[in-house]
Homo-oligomer: A and B are copies of this chain.
Amino acid sequence: MTAYDELMAFTRDSCALGEVAGRLGWDQETMMPRGAAEQRAEEMSAMSAMLHARRTDPRVGTWLSQAEAHGAVEAAQLRLIQRSYDRAVKIPETLARDIAGETSRGQGIWAEARANDDVAAFLPALKRIIALQREKAACLAESEGPDALYDALLLDYEPGTTSAQITAMFDALRPGLVSLRERIMAAPRPEGLSGHFDETQQMAMSEQIAQAFGYDMTRGRVDKSVHPFSSGSGTDVRITTRTDPSDPFNCLYSTIHEVGHAAYEQGIDAAYALTPLGAGVSMGVHESQSRIYENQLGRSVPFTGWLFGQLRDRFGDIGIETPEAFGRAVNTLRKGYIRTEADEVQYNLHVMLRYDLERALIGGTLEVEDLEDAWNTRFEADFGYKVDKPSNGVLQDVHWSFGLFGYFPTYTLGNVYAGCLNVAMRKAVPDLDADLAQGDPSKALAWLRENIQQHGGLYEPVDLITRATGAAPDVAPLLSYLEDKFTALYDL
């Protein structure tokens, strides 16, 4: 065996073990008995320590120094393994283990604190989690500036992008979003759905729509969880959704969103399975897929026109009489506290709030004790009304309890990428609206698979978007898309 072959055999096992660890996370959110939390934390911690030990195995360093790549695919494999190795060797095993144990426990503590609206119950755990993340960032940081620690964490989620670039992007995005929100909020309020929507029927419809959006159920499954997510790569990519008997959109659009993530993983070239190329290249690109499925396709006026008929067939009277009114109901802007329930326009404002706060926490300019106040002050400034309780404020998201710092901005980055991709996709599929009006997004999905999904980790994120769209990522297409869509919907 050549050094490359030996390295890839070892890496293939590591990828397989990584899949096992990921499935353990899925199990924790969907199946685990509640009394098993403490043992599960030990299991996760042992898996993390073992995976960390493999990433830093001295043989990997030796193989990397000897391996020769033949062709672009092998070169990309080596590039990703080298990056992972270079980062991993900087993190002591004890730290990797502490992070895994603390975040596994942190989740349970957060969930209980959120259920009781008790911020104080979560703060000690959050403090430990942040301290560990700062320690990790200090091991990894490559520069000295005020955002050096945050940038070091960001690379786990969005390689090749700095917080300076993200800040510039967000600054360019914000005024347009705020202005559009004001104009929409001043328009007459759209009608809302009414009725009782049987949850079993919702799950059945959810599976139907998931398959229409290309989700292969023979290589996945749909369960319920508190916070919908997608998990796994290769031939075992599972999604979760949730149901609310008074709001079928919650289930439907959670499903379409997670199918976007899952279809990305399922769409990667099978030859890359269980290798570093066999997973989505970054969280931003991942989110571009979930958001384009959910919004540019799933919330488009032609598609909602089709969905209107489906809902009426399945649930009878839904309190809305025309497809036009239904399109506005799907695309309603409301006052609200929760990021995951926000519309396309306000969603990014929720993300920007978290982005600034977590940068301050990691940068050391905001103390955990002051976080709730900072959240509430910023929220009122951005949204114009006060947070009513912590579960609608600082306790609403799972991310920080998982130790995910640097993840939030990739949501908006994904929206920006989706905006860019949408322009190119529409050019390539000129009759898309006619298909969507029949509930058929397949040509769009094929374009996304061809231009984004199949490549897995072959190209760096910005390079991938540029290849697919013919231009570097920019916020302008997203803003134009939102302007055009909502101007037409609300006759602004």
Contacts and interface: CB of A to CB of B under 8 A. Distances in A.
A20 B43 contact: yes
Interface stretch (A34-42, A201-209, A353-361): A34-42
Given A17-B46, A20-B24, A235-B39, A33 B219 contact: yes
Contacts of A23: 24, 27
Interface string A28-58: 0001111110111011011101100000000
Nearest to A233: B39
B274 A35 contact: no
Contacts of A159: none
Interface string A1-34: 0000000000011001101110110010001111
Interface in A77-120: none
A24 B234 CA distance: 16
Given A13-B50, A23-B27, A218 B43 contact: no
Contacts of A427: none
A483 interface: no
A268 to B, nearest CB: 13
Nearest to A97: B13
Interface string A189-231: 0000000000000000000000000001111110000000000
A460 interface: no
Nearest to A19: B43
Nearest to A220: B33
A273 interface: yes
Given A219-B33, A220-B33, A236-B32, A39 B17 contact: no
A217 B217 CA distance: 30
Contacts of A40: 236
Contacts of A36: 219, 234-236
Nearest to A14: B46
A221 B42 contact: no
Contact of A33 (B47, B217, B274): B217
A236 B35 CA distance: 8
Contacts of A21: 20
Given A43-B20, A50-B17, A33 B218 contact: yes
Determine chain A's interface SS by DSSP, over half rule: helix
A38 B19 CA distance: 13
Interface in A234-271: 234-236, 238
Given A23-B27, A39-B234, A46 B217 contact: no
Given A24-B23, A218-B33, A38 B235 contact: yes
B27 A42 contact: no
A35 B216 contact: yes
Contacts of A235: 33, 35-36, 38-39
A347 to B, nearest CB: 31
A263 B349 CA distance: 52
Contacts of A219: 33, 35-36
Contacts of A12: 42, 46
A7 to B, nearest CB: 15
Contacts of A217: 33
A42 to B, nearest CB: 5
A444 to B, nearest CB: 24
Contacts of A47: 16-17, 20
Which residue among A16, A21, A216, A238 has the maximum number of chain B CB atoms within 10 Å of its CB?
A16
Contacts of A32: 236
Contacts of A42: 12, 16, 274
Contacts of A238: 33
Nearest to A40: B236
Given A17-B47, A23-B27, A33-B236, A39 B273 contact: yes
A31 B21 CA distance: 16
A221 B35 CA distance: 11
A274 B24 contact: no
Nearest to A20: B43
Nearest to A49: B13
Contact of A39 (B19, B43, B45): B19
Contacts of A35: 216, 218-219, 235-236
Contacts of A273: 39
A315 to B, nearest CB: 24
Nearest to A221: B33
Contacts of A221: 31, 33
5 contacts: A16-B45, A16-B47, A31-B31, A35-B216, A38-B235
Query: When A and B form their complex, which 3 residue pairs have the shortest distance between CB atoms, in order from nearest?
Result: A36-B236, A16-B46, A35-B219
